[in-house]
Amino acid sequence: MAGDPFQRYTEATADGQRLLLHGEFRTSLERFQDAYEAAAEMEDQQLIFRALCNLSTARLSLGEIREAEKGLREILLKTEDPQCIFVASSNLASSLRRQGRLEKALFYAKRALRACEGLDNYAWKATCHNLIANIYLNMSYLDDAVAEYRFALSLSQKGGLGTSSPIEYIKENLGYCILLKKRYRQGIAIILEALQISLANGNTRCVAECYQDLSFAYMQLKEFKRAEEHGQKAMAIGGEKDYKDIVKNCYYLLGEINLLMGNEDTSDHYFGKLQELYPHLATLKDFLRTFDVSNIINLKNPF
């Protein structure tokens, strides 16, 4: 059984997908690598393409943005498999979004949507509209983003997805977008729903994002103790699971929160940690201690 490459491919892929949903991105990458090696051993081009798409998804989740793009454009040129076209296009869109290349990201997101239009997979369709909404959010088209998030939720309901993924991510993103519209109590309520679903699903990544968003929201409401508590929870998970973007955002949030509370030494510690990540921006810490950027920052933008 251990020598059967197809079974190894199938088991490794299933393991990788399960780990991905739970936010265990590094281990997920390792299992997808095992699946790729099994597909290569069989010399099955279609399975190789699917394995490469899965590797790309894990790398994106780990923040390896450029590495995640490798091979995806070649896949789009060579395959007619809707699953591969969907994953390759959506991953390219996600990578380009994080690089700030938003128009190109939107192009690939819409290509991903076309790939799954003829398929009876509401999770994929909802994921596409969530991705398009994320791009609109980065463009600061907040009303368009809200409309896309709500449509993604309606598709999820139509498809009978219940509380399965990607519901928690869509709700978390919608809640955060509502926060940017300065409707803080409404946004918090939606994020708390996402948090409960994430906890029930064992989705550690989304749990961390919810805590991060709640920290931001309570900071805006000047409920600083609550803001600090949630920021610390997000950073603890981010540090444990190697979610580098969460940790980075929490350095800023906790630095700003403590500055507003008058805890200058603690604020200096967090802003100093953030400064270490940007050695080329020698005045970043001093800038953040002097200017309040909390009303213009977008935690979903490249930082």
The 10s digit of each residue's pLDDT in 160-215 is 999 999 999 999 999 999 999 999 999 999 999 999 999 999 999 999 999 999 99
Radius of gyration of the chain (CA): 20
Mean pLDDT of 104-109: 97
Cβ proximity of 302 and 100 under 8 Å = yes
- Domain check: are 201 and 272 in the same one? no
* pLDDT at res. 2: 58
In the predicted model, what is the mean pLDDT of the chain? Answer: 94
Structure tokens at 213: 């968003």
Query: Long-range contacts for 13-20 (Cβ within 8 Å, ≥24 apart)?
Result: 13/50, 13/51, 13/54, 16/54, 16/58, 17/54, 20/57, 20/58, 20/61
Q: Which domain holds residue 279?
A: 237-303
Nearest Cα to 116, choosing from 81, 142, 67? 81
DSSP 120: S
Is 223 within the bounds of a domain? no
Is 229 within the bounds of a domain? no
* pLDDT at res. 303: 39
- Domain check: are 101 and 81 in the same one? yes
CA angle at 126 for the pair 122 and 128, rounded to the nearest 5° = 120
Mean pLDDT of 137-148: 97
Is 291 within the bounds of a domain? yes
Is 245 within the bounds of a domain? yes
Backbone φ and ψ for 164, nearest 5 degrees, come out as -80, 160
Is 112 within the bounds of a domain? yes
Alpha-carbon span 132 to 284, nearest angstrom: 32
- Domain check: are 101 and 168 in the same one? no
Cβ proximity of 147 and 137 under 8 Å = no
What distances in angstroms separate CA 53 from CA 36, 58, 288, one per listed residue?
Answer: 10, 9, 39
pLDDT for 1 beyond 60: no
Mean pLDDT of 128-154: 97
- Domain check: are 136 and 156 in the same one? yes
Split into its structural domains, the chain has a count of 3
Beta strands in the chain (DSSP E): none
Confidence class for position 253, pLDDT limits 50, 70, 90: very high
- Domain check: are 61 and 161 in the same one? no
Alpha-carbon span 47 to 52, nearest angstrom: 9
% the chain with pLDDT above 70: 98
Is 6 within the bounds of a domain? yes
Alpha-carbon span 252 to 239, nearest angstrom: 15
Is 231 within the bounds of a domain? no
Mean pLDDT of 216-232: 98
Considering the entire predicted model, what is its pTM? Answer: 0.93
What CATH number does the domain containing 91 carry?
1.25.40.10
